[in-house]
Amino acid sequence: MAEVESRIEKRAAGATQPSQERIEGKLGEFGFWMPKQGYKESSAIQRMKRLKTLIKRGANLLDPESVKEVIAKQSGLRKLKP
């Protein structure tokens, strides 16, 4: 919890939202990294599509809490019973 709070404080101290170009660059890196690690091209393509969908829905891929929030808000997900 303290780690998350410190990341939030660092961003609040003057960092702006990550630029779209930076995020797209990271996506490109990820797309090239997967096949190098032995993943099938089809797996890389599907994951890239999913990540782009998250971006379209408002997720900041560089912020795990933002990604979790967008996923939690998606309709059609089954709720887990305790």
What gap in Å lies between CA 52 and CA 61, rounded to an integer? 9
Residue 8 lies in a domain: no
Q: Which domain holds residue 27?
A: 18-72
Enter the pTM of the model. 0.63
Write the pLDDT tens digit of every residue in 46-76: 999 999 999 999 998 889 999 999 999 886 6
Instruction: For residue 59, give every residue at least 6 positions away whose Cβ sits within 8 Å of its Cβ, in sequence order, or none.
Output: 66, 67, 69, 70, 71
What gap in Å lies between CA 74 and CA 45, rounded to an integer? 21
Residue 68 lies in a domain: yes
Count: domains in the chain: 1
Write the pLDDT tens digit of every residue in 14-55: 455 567 788 888 888 998 999 999 999 999 999 999 999 999
Instruction: For residue 24, give every residue at least 6 positions away whose Cβ sits within 8 Å of its Cβ, in sequence order, or none.
Output: none
pLDDT recorded at residue 17: 57
> In the predicted model, is pLDDT for residue 78 greater than 90?
no
Residue 37 lies in a domain: yes
pLDDT recorded at residue 4: 44
